[in-house]
Structure 1
């Protein structure tokens, strides 16, 4: 029997997604086409691969045993073929999905879009909003580049440190906290607004205040920094946010910024991507361009960059 190596890609997607529809979406083919591929895989392996249980499908014992090896073979083939390809940005046609925190998109989205269009006119960007819950978009191939304030826990997610920010306090002009020195006690006694896409009313600030015997009163939570800044502008609410990536938005609104009166570590900023793109030259170009765009916020041109690529180890 002649083996169609394309079936390995289909098998990899089926084992990752656990459904015909999910694998079809991932590989941008129709569900009937993926169903036919599954039939051919079953015939080639002599195994059902996926079996229906109620409304879902589960992998067979043999499918579970071969899952890691199939994935490794597909990635090795991808690296082998990609190594022979030279990238021509002027003729490159591709869609990249970039999912960053809203503050980073607001600070760098325009510059990144302009740079991408200037260098590769055929490339299109999807600047996607972060979901309210943890999402496996990187692993599923739905997201090409993501931002995070922490290193990934999964070994197949790569990371690169692109900057370190510090937290500052933003209030409306004429806010009572702008008069006199800002002590931890005065800061804690104010009414606060958190920024959380999950709607959390607490964050690491509360732990730092608790260590000083202080407790702040959080009266609201906003899903984005832009929303929080607008709310702070029209009220006495205090919002504590990263300095560099929100500077343009704060200046545009005319908000007053104050130094945070308690000691906290800097906020790290990482770019994340799946290891499947390690040797993808187009993806390498995108993440290098994104890195350059972001680091321009933090350091003047010519300053030596810090950090580097990593896979499950500190950058």
Structure 2
């Protein structure tokens, strides 16, 4: 099929080339031979009158024209997938669909067990890929590489629809033998202590750290980690403080020699949201998943902070 003399089949090859910047990997991605992909690149170069990819040392880099094509081409393919290639119906018990979610280890440890339990009973053939969050997660959503982001509302880009799933509060976690664990944890003691903070990516700070910066609170940061789960483990044997999500802290206190205290400085609630691509709002599978996520959040809230799945919840229903 051609449009303005362009074979539209070449768009898939172009997208793979612009994403992988490697002919062999691009060929593997779309199940073509390397020779077929090289031929596709030659035809694309002729059509656009541009090299698109140029060899620089041992790797290939995009030309300025190719950089300008990268996002529009991906957007076209996402639109096609969402409107033309989408299945007309979604039957959970008959589906073997793979859902790809971009989640933090916080979400993995709190919400995901409830979601997977519910999905297992309703749609045993459905599979999940839980992918780690990276800097600029919205790019993965826009490029159609993931189905959903589960991130704080404050970080949701305005271009795509989002819905708040649940709220989270913060608390302070301390080693239970620390002098700071004795008596009231005042704002003065809090500010005077060393802190362990989460820095999940190169570009974005954790929401808790973002709140602190917004409030003009400057802490003495002595340790940073990429993991939201880690601070409760890293402060043992020290007089440091970690400001953590309450649900994670409640899980950790069951097995670690730590204690929990209120945060002695004002810190807002976190609104954890799910976000999907604007072209995929009508996707019946995603509609089912979004409803299931809300059901999972309700089950998590009913269990209470730090609670594990009960025997009745975790036992498959025959």
Taking only aligned residues, the RMSD between alpha carbons, in angstroms, comes to 3.9
Mapping 1:138-157, distance limit 5 Å: 138-149=141-152, 150-153=154-157, 155=159, 157=160
TM-score if structure 1 supplies the norm length? 0.73
When residues 206 and 91 of structure 1 are mapped into structure 2, their CA distance, relative to the original with a 3 A threshold, is: closer
* Change over 3 Å in CA distance of 1:297–1:283 after alignment to 2: same
- 1:171 maps onto 2:169 in alignment: no
1:19-44 CA-to-partner distances (Å, cap 9, x unmatched) read 6556556656555554444556667x
* Pairing of 1:51-66 with structure 2 (within 5 A): 51-52=53-54, 54=56, 55-56=59-60, 58=62, 64=68
1:63-122 deviations in Å (ceiling 9; x for gaps): 958974x66654554344366611122221222222211111111222222222222222
Mapping 1:1-315, distance limit 5 Å: 6-11=9-14, 20=23, 24=27, 27=30, 31-38=34-41, 50-52=52-54, 54=56, 55-56=59-60, 58=62, 64=68, 68=72, 74-81=77-84, 85-131=88-134, 133-134=135-136, 136-149=139-152, 150-153=154-157, 155=159, 157-198=160-201, 203-204=209-210, 206-207=212-213, 210=216, 215-253=218-256, 255-298=258-301
Equivalenced residue count is 294
Q: Any conservation in 1 of the 2:78–2:279 contact (CA below 8 Å)? A: yes
Contact 1:48-1:60 within 8 A present in 2 as well:
no
Distance 2:79 2:215 in 1: 50
CA distance 1:140–1:220, shift in 2 (3 Å) = same
Q: Is the 8 A contact 2:18 2:62 kept in 1?
A: no
Distance change >3 Å, CA 19–CA 152, structure 1 → 2: farther
Measured in 2, the distance between the counterparts of 1:127 and 1:83 equals 22
Distance 1:162 1:217, change over 3 A: same
